[in-house]
Structure 1
Amino acid sequence: MNLEHHFSMLGDMFSSKTVVQPLLEQRLVEFNQSLATFLFIDIKSSQTKRLLSGEDAAPHSLSMVYAGHQFGGFSPQLGDGRGVLLGEVRGQDSLLYDLHMKGAGPTPYSRRGDGRAVLRSCIREYLASEAMAALSIPTSRALGLYDSREAVYREQPEAGAMLLRVAQGHIRFGHFEYFFYQGKQDQLNELIDYCLEHYYPDSLKTDVPLENMLKEVVKRTARMIAKWQAVGFQHGVMNTDNFSFTGETLDYGPYGFMEDYEPDWVCNHSDYEGRYAFSRQPGIGLWNLNCLMKCFSKHLERDQLVAILQGYEVELQTHYDALMMVKLGLNSSKDVHTLLPPLFSILASEKMDYSVFFRLLSYSEKDGFSLLLDEVVDRQRLQSWLQDYQAARIAGCSDWQSVSESMTQVNPKFILRNYLAHSAILAAEQGDYLPFRRLLNVLASPFDEHPESDSLAQRVPEWGKSLEVSCSS
């Protein structure tokens, strides 16, 4: 494994030297071999295995410092409180990818915390990041999961664990906020140059590299959130320190995939005011970008920053419309705008499962529509909508069979339901990782039928509806 250390070269104003502190009797219980192959990582190498686990210290490993707006309030200094950046590796695409260990022990930014992670949260992040990748949503990835015999204390003692994760970058909006509000202009300029060189090199070829980079950040953020909304994903903690400058979904804590359709759904039970409710995610994305743009107020004029931000809503709506057109099997955004509002009203009033609806809609008219009508109380209302939908389909002059097949490749049969993750965690805590691996298998190819795993596509049972996730997850 060829481990590079570009971020560490920025110096100690950007990070602190930190090493992974292995857990008591830790074991590598899951390893993402396909991702490792892409990154030229050979886990069979004893040297590589010891380096990744923390048994041998990475020569320039570090924890990053940054700030962030958390639930609307500004925290001037945060940082990697339980994470260690081991370094970067190059993938088969020649791009650099960070190797980052979560739960690696205390760092200078732990704020009196233990710097550890529990098996529960590591499993949830492993499953979520791989599920999102399979849904073609930009995300960090899980490379390895370590469990241990070390007790970590939260509300009660739990099994300690570490998660080795991969992302194009771990630079957050909060990095820029930290240097801007600290008045560290030289370091802010260094960070800008670093991001241009490593993440947005095409912008360097233009006459206005900073403007072009920020436009791309806005575009990537808008498209990421459009994808969240289309699949029914809620992040749960959309703080600026959890927003990636490279447009990847980071930091899976109290996330959720929508089951019963509820536009104002809040998956995070620590979010008492519903700041990050599902319907508010697009607005919060813009709010976070406003916070980011303020950091460049000494580099660009206000009108320039406003113009950059104005691209957000157009990009998000355009991309969302395109995604929903494919989900519905339509070829007109006008039809999408006409059909979605009454559809969402039906789904909400019927408390219908979001993913199940679109999967059934993907099947043949004879099978799918009859199954859909069996799902609702007000059959006449849904029948009326289906008639309008069929009219739009006929006007599109597309062959239903081919469209149906394409719809099944964008409307997943399997999503990461909270109760499934909960069941997998309970089994893993008893040393049984089979349910975890079985779930991971279908989430890695969620559009396939997997008839042997039909039970994993079932709606949430009553006991599962009372499960809660919070920031402690």
Structure 2
Amino acid sequence: MNLEHHFASLGDAFSSKTRIQPLLEQRLVEFNQSLATFLSIDIKSTQIKKILNGSEPVLQSVSMVYAGHQFGGFSPQLGDGRGVLLGEVRGQDGLLYDLHMKGAGPTPYSRRGDGRAVLRSCIREYLASEAMAALAIPTSRSLGLYDSCEAVYREQPEPGAMLLRVAEGHIRFGHFEFFFYQGKNSELDELVEYCLTHYYPNCKKTDSPLESMLTEVVKRTARMIAKWQAAGFQHGVMNTDNFSFTGETIDYGPYGFMEDYQPDWVCNHSDHEARYAFSRQPGVGLWNLNCLMRCFSKHLEKDQLVAILQCYEPELQSYYDDLMLQKIGLKNVKDLHELLPVLFTILKAERMDYSIFFRLLSQLKFNEFTSLVDEVIDRDRLTEWLERYQSTRLNDGLVWADVSKLMMRVNPKYILRNYLAHDVMIAAEKGDYLPFRRLLNVLNSPFDEHPESELLAQRAPEWGRSLEVSCSS
């Protein structure tokens, strides 16, 4: 493993030197071998084991400083309160990837916190990031999970854990906000140059590198959120310090995959004003990008920044339309816009499971509607919609069976339901990681059938629908 330290070389204005502080009787209980191979990390190496678990300190490891808008209010200084950036490693694609440990202990940005993470939150993030990757949604990844016998105190004592994460970058919108609002113009310029060099090198070749880079950031953010909406994913805490400058989904906390279709669903029970409700995510993405653009008000003219922001909505809408055309098996956007709103009205009224419905729609046979109609109360209403849908799909002139196969590749049978994560966490806290690995296995290939794991595709039981997830998760 060739560990590089490009971000750390920016200096003390951008981060503080920190190190992993190992937990008591720490154990590596899960390791992502395929990701490790891609990053040329040999976990069998004694030295690499020591570097990753913190027993051999990395002299250039750091914790980042940044700011952020949290639930609409600005916090002038935040930072990696429990995270350590070990450095960067190069993947087989030639790109650099951050190695970042969550739960590594107190840092200068812990704000009186213990800097630790608990096992349940590490498991939830491990599962979520790998599930999102399998759904082709830009995301950080999980490389290794460590448990321990050390107690970490939240509402009650819980097992402490650490999660080794990988991402193209951990620079957030809040990094730029920190330097802009502090009036640190030279550091802001350094950060711009760093991002151009390491994340957006093609933009350096254009007439206006910064303008080109910001346009790409807007488009990446739009495409990421379009994928969230199509997959029924809700982040839960869309603060600017949780938004990646590279367009990746990061910082999994009180997230959720929508089960019963509810456009105003709120997965985070700490979000009392429903600021980050599912249907509001596209609007929040634009709000966050507005915050980001303010940081460049001394670099670009207002009309330039406005023009960059105006790329957001058409990019999101067109990308979302393409995703939904694939999910529903149609060719024309006009047909999609006629059929989809009616379908969503039906799903909402029936409290139909979002993922199960689209999976069943993928398996729909010509003139055989029973499998779907049996799922609802108002059978006539859904039958009428299915007849219109079938007619529209036939008019596209494509072979029915071929379209169904394509739909099966984009409509997962398995999603990360909260009750499944809950069961896995309870077992892991008792030392049993078999349920975790079984669930991870199906989430890594969510479009396959996995007949031995059929129970993991079922709706949540009543107790599972009432589970609450909050920012402490």
Q: Same fold (TM over 0.5)?
A: yes
Report the Cα distance in structure 1 between the residues aligned to 2:338 and 2:466, rounded to whole angstroms: 35
* Structure 2 equivalent of residue 2 of structure 1: 2
* Structure 2 equivalent of residue 24 of structure 1: 24
Distance 1:352 1:293, change over 3 A: same
3-state SS of 1:164 partner: strand
Report the Cα distance in structure 1 between the residues aligned to 2:385 and 2:342, rounded to whole angstroms: 8
Where does structure 1 lack aligned partners over 5 or more consecutive residues?
Answer: none
Shift of 1:466: 1.1
Report the Cα distance in structure 2 between the residues aligned to 1:293 and 1:211, rounded to whole angstroms: 10
Query: 1:143 and 2:143 equivalent?
Result: yes
Report the Cα distance in structure 2 between the residues aligned to 1:221 and 1:408, rounded to whole angstroms: 26
Report the Cα distance in structure 2 between the residues aligned to 1:367 and 1:129, rounded to whole angstroms: 39
Report the Cα distance in structure 2 between the residues aligned to 1:351 and 1:328, rounded to whole angstroms: 19
* Structure 2 equivalent of residue 33 of structure 1: 33
* Structure 1 equivalent of residue 386 of structure 2: 386
Q: 2:69·2:241 contact (CA, 8 Å) conserved in 1?
A: yes
Q: Deviations over 1:235-276 (max 9, x none)?
A: 000000000000000000000000000000000000000000
Distance 1:367 1:452, change over 3 A: farther
Report the Cα distance in structure 2 between the residues aligned to 1:340 and 1:285, rounded to whole angstroms: 23
Shift of 1:368: 6.9
Shift of 1:425: 0.3
Report the Cα distance in structure 2 between the residues aligned to 1:215 and 1:423, rounded to whole angstroms: 42
Report the Cα distance in structure 1 between the residues aligned to 2:368 and 2:327, rounded to whole angstroms: 14
Report the Cα distance in structure 2 between the residues aligned to 1:238 and 1:468, rounded to whole angstroms: 18
Q: 2:222·2:312 contact (CA, 8 Å) conserved in 1?
A: yes
Shift of 1:366: 5.2
Given the two structures, how large is their TM-score scaled by the length of structure 1?
Answer: 0.99
Q: Deviations over 1:281-316 (max 9, x none)?
A: 000000000000000000000000000000000000
* Structure 1 equivalent of residue 224 of structure 2: 224
Shift of 1:402: 0.5
3-state SS of 2:104 partner: coil
Q: 2:116·2:161 contact (CA, 8 Å) conserved in 1?
A: yes
Report the Cα distance in structure 1 between the residues aligned to 2:364 and 2:303, rounded to whole angstroms: 51
Amino acid corresponding to residue 210 of structure 1 in structure 2: L
Shift of 1:59: 2.0
Matches within 5 A, 1:78-117: 78-117=78-117
Report the Cα distance in structure 1 between the residues aligned to 2:315 and 2:364, rounded to whole angstroms: 32
Shift of 1:364: 3.5
Report the Cα distance in structure 1 between the residues aligned to 2:243 and 2:388, rounded to whole angstroms: 39
Shift of 1:370: 1.4
Amino acid corresponding to residue 419 of structure 2 in structure 1: Y
Amino acid corresponding to residue 93 of structure 1 in structure 2: D
Where does structure 2 lack aligned partners over 5 or more consecutive residues?
Answer: none
Q: 2:366·2:390 contact (CA, 8 Å) conserved in 1?
A: no
Matches within 5 A, 1:8-407: 8-365=8-365, 369-407=369-407
Report the Cα distance in structure 2 between the residues aligned to 1:177 and 1:111, rounded to whole angstroms: 19
Report the Cα distance in structure 2 between the residues aligned to 1:403 and 1:331, rounded to whole angstroms: 10
Shift of 1:369: 2.7
Report the Cα distance in structure 1 between the residues aligned to 2:51 and 2:333, rounded to whole angstroms: 51
Report the Cα distance in structure 2 between the residues aligned to 1:191 and 1:57, rounded to whole angstroms: 26
Report the Cα distance in structure 1 between the residues aligned to 2:334 and 2:95, rounded to whole angstroms: 39
Distance 1:212 1:180, change over 3 A: same
Amino acid corresponding to residue 373 of structure 1 in structure 2: V
Identity of aligned residues (%): 78
Q: 2:177·2:295 contact (CA, 8 Å) conserved in 1?
A: yes
Report the Cα distance in structure 2 between the residues aligned to 1:5 and 1:411, rounded to whole angstroms: 40
Q: 1:361·1:368 contact (CA, 8 Å) conserved in 2?
A: no
Q: Deviations over 1:79-136 (max 9, x none)?
A: 0000000000000000000000000000000000000000000000000000000000
Distance 1:362 1:75, change over 3 A: same
Report the Cα distance in structure 2 between the residues aligned to 1:305 and 1:366, rounded to whole angstroms: 50
Query: 1:468 and 2:468 equivalent?
Result: yes
Query: 1:428 and 2:428 equivalent?
Result: yes
Amino acid corresponding to residue 121 of structure 1 in structure 2: S
Q: 1:364·1:401 contact (CA, 8 Å) conserved in 2?
A: no
| Aligned-residue RMSD, C-alpha | 0.7
Q: 1:86·1:100 contact (CA, 8 Å) conserved in 2?
A: yes
Report the Cα distance in structure 2 between the residues aligned to 1:455 and 1:379, rounded to whole angstroms: 26
Report the Cα distance in structure 1 between the residues aligned to 2:368 and 2:118, rounded to whole angstroms: 42
Q: 1:362·1:404 contact (CA, 8 Å) conserved in 2?
A: yes
Q: 1:360·1:368 contact (CA, 8 Å) conserved in 2?
A: no
3-state SS of 1:80 partner: coil
Given the two structures, how large is their TM-score scaled by the length of structure 2?
Answer: 0.99
Alignment size in residue pairs: 473
Amino acid corresponding to residue 304 of structure 2 in structure 1: Q
3-state SS of 2:66 partner: coil
Q: Deviations over 1:401-435 (max 9, x none)?
A: 01000100000000000000000000000000000
Q: 2:26·2:147 contact (CA, 8 Å) conserved in 1?
A: yes
Shift of 1:367: 9.1
3-state SS of 1:343 partner: helix
Report the Cα distance in structure 2 between the residues aligned to 1:301 and 1:339, rounded to whole angstroms: 42
Distance 1:28 1:367, change over 3 A: farther
Q: 1:355·1:412 contact (CA, 8 Å) conserved in 2?
A: yes
Amino acid corresponding to residue 292 of structure 1 in structure 2: L
Report the Cα distance in structure 2 between the residues aligned to 1:411 and 1:440, rounded to whole angstroms: 18
3-state SS of 1:365 partner: coil
Q: After alignment, is 261-270 or 358-367 more displaced?
A: 358-367
* Structure 1 equivalent of residue 417 of structure 2: 417
